[in-house]
Structure 1
């Protein structure tokens, strides 16, 4: 199952990009044997600054046809890392070929796009900068792959 991290905004070179690249490289190596990956970042940019509705339109165009849609949203469901790994494994095992993890812009994800999601995941009740959420989701998909592979990377 291919993983697409679909995000509003462009990430420039810096520590966040370095971390994301490292975690996605690790994920690709670990996930390959598990039928997971590759993972990639798909960036969209609302150059006209037209707001969440316009961002939602750009994100919809970036989604692979038939993908599981998972939004990253503070109103989503809180999962432990093992629970997230189980969910990732169940999506893969159900024959889904693509998973799109959606990260909104500064104002979040348009309600209409949130309503279309198969699942909504929260990293807590706090609001996180969307560039840090990219790092967090990259690390969590790598952690999920290590959990599914039985690696000692994850410790409860």
Structure 2
């Protein structure tokens, strides 16, 4: 059974998102051990200098990196990353398990994304879309896709 950490900036403040996240965490229990770890979120005013953007990214990135388990296969969520279909994600997760890579970490940045250092550290940069999603909503989308991937692996009907 794979152990998945979802490492994200900040806390989820919206009740409807928390309810959806909790539902998918429950649905995933037969397939993987999943936990959500939250790193510190920096305040991001409307107008930031490029230097301040880098400071915010570095501070959030350091907080996220501290939460990574040593040796975990790290997947950074990044708009500029590789895009996979649900079936391709299912295959990628299965291939990782076959290779003995059962400790996975998905990293979700904050409002400004992820620090360059974290993107370069990651084993895979994964894009869910070229669209920008709120980082709190991204947790729910990721959990749903993980659930879908495990259902696909088992040939179960959820994904149809």
- Does TM, normalized by the shorter one, top 0.5? yes
Give 2:25's aligned residue.
24
2:21 and 2:143 in contact (8 A); partners too: yes
Q: State how far apart, in whole Å, the 2-side matches of 1:48 and 1:132 are.
A: 18
Give 1:40's aligned residue.
35
Q: State how far apart, in whole Å, the 1-side matches of 2:97 and 2:40 are.
A: 29
Aligned partner of 2:145 among 140, 144, 150:
140
Give 1:34's aligned residue.
none
Q: State how far apart, in whole Å, the 2-side matches of 1:13 and 1:77 are.
A: 29
Give 2:13's aligned residue.
12
The runs of at least 4 aligned residues of structure 1 exceeding 2 Å deviation read 46-50
Aligned ranges 1:2-151 → 2 under 5 Å: 2-12=3-13, 14-29=15-30, 31=31, 37-46=32-41, 51-151=56-156
CA apart distance, 1:14: 0.3
CA apart distance, 1:12: 3.0
Matched residue count: 149
CA apart distance, 1:48: 7.6
Structure 1 alignment gaps of length 5 or more: 32-36
Relative to structure 1, the CA distance from residue 115 to residue 152 in structure 2 (aligned partners, 3 Å threshold; closer, same or farther) is: same
Give the SS at the match of 1:85.
helix
